[in-house]
Structure formats: C-alpha cells, structure tokens
Amino acid sequence: MTRAVPDKGTNGLQWEAGAISCAEWTGVKLRDVLADAGLDLATPGPDAKHAQFEGAEAYGASIPLSKVLDAQGDVLLAFGMNGETLPADHGFPLRVIVPGNVAARSVKWLKKITVSDEESTTQWQRRDYKCFGPNVAKPDWSKAPSIQEMPVTSAITRIQRPEAGGKVNVEGYAYSGGGREIVRVDVSIDAGKTWAQAELMGDEGKGSKSWWWKRWRFEIPDEGDKGGEVLVKATDESYNTQPEDY
C-alpha cells in the first residue's frame, strides 16, 4: 500500500513513491556487444558473474551477468530515446538500460564495461540501494543484497474533483520489477476496510517482458465520496502484492 507521505524516513534521499517514467529506447543489446568482444555467452566461465558499468563522472554500478546473458533480459546500450538522439541529461552519447531493475543500475554517460567476479566497488553498489529489517539501527552493508529487480509498487498521481456534478476520478500508475506485469490494482476509500478494483489502462510497451508501467483509473462511487483518504495497492503476475507497512 502506498501512502502519499511515508510513515518514517529512510537514510539518504527521500524518494517517497520513487521517480518513474516510461520511454522508448533505441540501442544495441549488450549481450551482442559482449559476444563481439569475445565473451562466450553460453559458457562465460565461473569468474564472469557481474557486468560493471562506469560513467564519465564518478558514478558506477553493476548487475548480475545472468541478466545480460538472458536473451529475454533486454539489457541495452542505448543511444536513442523516444525516437531522438539520447539527450545529455539522459546519458548522451551512450547509457545502459537495465529494464525491470532499479534505475540506479542504468548507468549514464557510459565510459567502460567490465565483466567481473565481483560487484562494482562503488559506494552506490556496496553502501547504498539496499534494504534492512525495520528494526535495524546499524546496518551491516555487506550482508544485504543490492537492489536489482524492484518489488511491486503503485502511486496515486491525480485526484480530480469535478466542479459541478460528476464523479471524483482517481488516476495513477503501478509497476513491478523483473518484467512482471501488473494484473490488479485495488483502491480503498475507507482506510483499507474494503477495496475495489481500478480499471487498468491499455499501455503496451516493447520488449520481451512487461518492463513498462501500468496506468490505472478509478471512479469513486457517489455514495462513497466522503472526502477521506484514498489508498492504493497493486498485485503483479506472480501475485506479489504491496505490504501495508515495512
């Protein structure tokens, strides 16, 4: 379940519901580039476990090599965005796109790729973008796995209250990592006591799996509009759903 304001803060930047957009990327598959560079895709060897990326600034990150080698993984070296040359803010001349994974792995202004037996040694890979138990005060960063695929999530982006007559319209998006499609979005207007299903809108992205967001809308029934808090939770095709708290 996603609330507009989190009940308790996290360390670092407060991203709240996260930052998300849905673009069409043009590029070449990283697996093809690695094959051209001499990597044996079928048997890359026991030391070939991670693909590390370095950006032209300080940033760096890595992903499991299995994600790159997976023909359905769709890991791209992108030079185009929405049919145009990749903008500077989005990583010109070349960036990685790792669909289904946290965007922190989609390194911009790409300078170097290394196939390695270990994860990237940057602070962003080793000491950031990890989660710990809710009561952990002093986290052991070495024990928690780096976030790669994202959990199921959702957000309300707009509540439209018509000036005269008409029903209140609620809109938002839902998303799950790993290419898992959103199959259901539940909305509550009574603080979670009852739930109804939102209408899922017909976005269809490209690629091997459901990498894109699912937009949804919901009309609050006349008798239900008490002006209270609206809650949303999503379910993906593996029937993972959002917890009420963390």
Out of 11, 14, 72, 142, which residue is the one contacting a copy of itself (CB under 8 A)?
72
User: Residue 211: beta bridge partners?
Assistant: none
Residues 33, 35, 56, 196: which binds a copy of itself (CB under 8 A)? 196
Q: Please pick, from the candidates 54, 74, 119, 186, the single residue that binds a copy of itself as defined by CB under 8 A.
A: 186
* 152 scored as a contact of a copy of itself (CB under 8 A): yes
CB of 239 to a copy of itself, least distance (A): 4
Nearest distance from C-beta of residue 74 to a copy of itself, angstroms:
13
Instruction: Identify residue 154 by its one-letter amino acid code.
Output: S
| Region from 7-15, 43-51, 112-120, 130-138 binding a copy of itself, contact rule CB under 8 A | 130-138
Minimum CB separation of residue 135 from a copy of itself in Å reads 5
Cβ proximity of 25 and 84 under 8 Å: no
Residue 242 sits in the site that holds a copy of itself (CB under 8 A) = yes
CB 41 within 8 A of CB 108: no
Helix (H) or strand (E) holding 171: strand 169-175
Report the amino acid identity of residue 5.
Answer: V
Q: Which of 38, 145, 162, 165 binds a copy of itself (CB under 8 A)?
A: 145
Kindly tell me the burial class for residue 224, based on how many C-beta atoms sit within 10 Å of its own C-beta (0-12, 13-18, 19 or more): middle
Nearest one of 185, 183, 153, 182 to 171, comparing CA atoms: 185
Lay out the site mask for a copy of itself across 37-66 (x = CB under 8 A, - = otherwise).
Answer: -----------------------------x
Phi/psi for 29 (5° steps) reads: -75, 130
Specify whether the CB–CB gap between 153 and 234 falls below 8 A.
Answer: yes
**Cβ-based nearer residue to a copy of itself, 42 or 164:** 42
